[in-house]
Structure 1
Amino acid sequence: MTTQVKSAIAAQGSEQAIAQSDFEQQYLEEQAEEQANAVKRLIDDSISFEMLADATETILRHAFWLAKQKQKRSLREYRKLLGDQGWKGEEKRYLKIAAAFQKFSPQELAQIEPSTVYHLAENSKKYKQVIDRLLDLTAITQEAVRSLIRENRTPRELKPEKPSIWRRTKNGGRYCQIPPIHETEERTGTTLQKMMDEEGLSAQNIVAEAVALRQAYKEGRLAFVEKKAI
């Protein structure tokens, strides 16, 4: 009986050891696979950005080559070159790139994202200061270029809003509302209140009448007449 119990315990222990070993093996395999995937992602990311840098460099090399062809070939030969490649009219943006970045080599600008290169070249006058400042950088990166572009932006001058007395009603109509009149002597308010009290008119009626009289005076339909001394 004791022997059987010992055998059962030993068998159980062996099964647990095997299970533990399998678990450890599975864990190690999962860790190795995860590390391999991480390395693969890192390599893929690196290759992707390298390809982007290659694209920028290729764009610049083509732009410089195209500018050189235009310079050394006759106008007829140059046009034929563009026509044969189906590039007639498409070359202009590349010539702008060549003109904007003529002081740089393609390798120096390789870390700039392609659309940023196009954007700077298309607006070379606006970003002349940015392009010139790139010459002072030890490493020209996309982040550095973006930073210079932000620094180059000038804040828009906010135009003062044109004063308006018009207000909208819920049904889409409108009405005029005169802003509060602040005066030290309160002359306008006092006079208006007196007219309302004495004549029984509303403030709106009095203001409308005053505006009409002022307009008539401006148009020459009303004039001040001085009383002659008797």
Structure 2
Amino acid sequence: MRGPFLLKLLLITFFWSSIVSATLIERDYEGVSGGITYDSKTNIEWLDLSFTRSMNLVQYQHYLANLNANWLFADGEMVSDLLTNFEFYFNPDSAGNDIYGRAINVKENYTYNNPKDIYFKHVDEMKVLGEFTTEGGKWTGVKGFTSDYSGNYYKQYMAYYSSNKNTGVVSAGKFYRAPKARSDESFFTYRVSTFEEPAVKATVAVQSAVQLPEPSTLGLFSLILCFMGLRKYKS
């Protein structure tokens, strides 16, 4: 009887762990497919970076004011929390090594020469937040300013690569620059969601974008139950 009992406990553990998960969901916005990325863990909606591309700071501030839709300029802590939904690895070791290869000049931003395939996979997953491609297609990826500033310079988060895939560029909020309305510059923009799916389900396209398991207190508690149950039946 021990085997079936333990199996039931393991199934309960799996079920609880599946319930408590972080999910990013794409929603249409202003006629743009996937124009919003909804984070169900925080109940925050993120405006696609493409909406604020090629704006300087004044243009961006005017854009938010004219939208009158409760959109706000996100700070670095919020963006950092958002990016934890992805598997991207932002912390090379002291020698610059990580799962993508060897990072060079690990300071405010850093580069990879000939990064491994997993680098492109992880960058492409983040493109759900708003992909940019520079003129001529030389660079592609994700890049956006946050509201954290020092003087006239604002913090950026970025992960992108060259068209020939021999170079990757990354920064996890240590890179400060002045917004200059470049085609590869955007602003991380968010609002608290008031979306009520049953009322607008017919007009808003919703699809699962990213689903990643998240360690949780419930999952941990269920594992403890398994252990206690096993000890009980052994005694």
User: TM-score normalised to the size of structure 1?
Assistant: 0.24
Flag the structure with more relative contact order, 1 or 2, with Cα contacts below 8 A and sequence separation at least 6: 2
More helix by share: 1
Which structure: larger Rg? Answer: 1
More strand by share: 2
User: TM-score normalised to the size of structure 2?
Assistant: 0.24
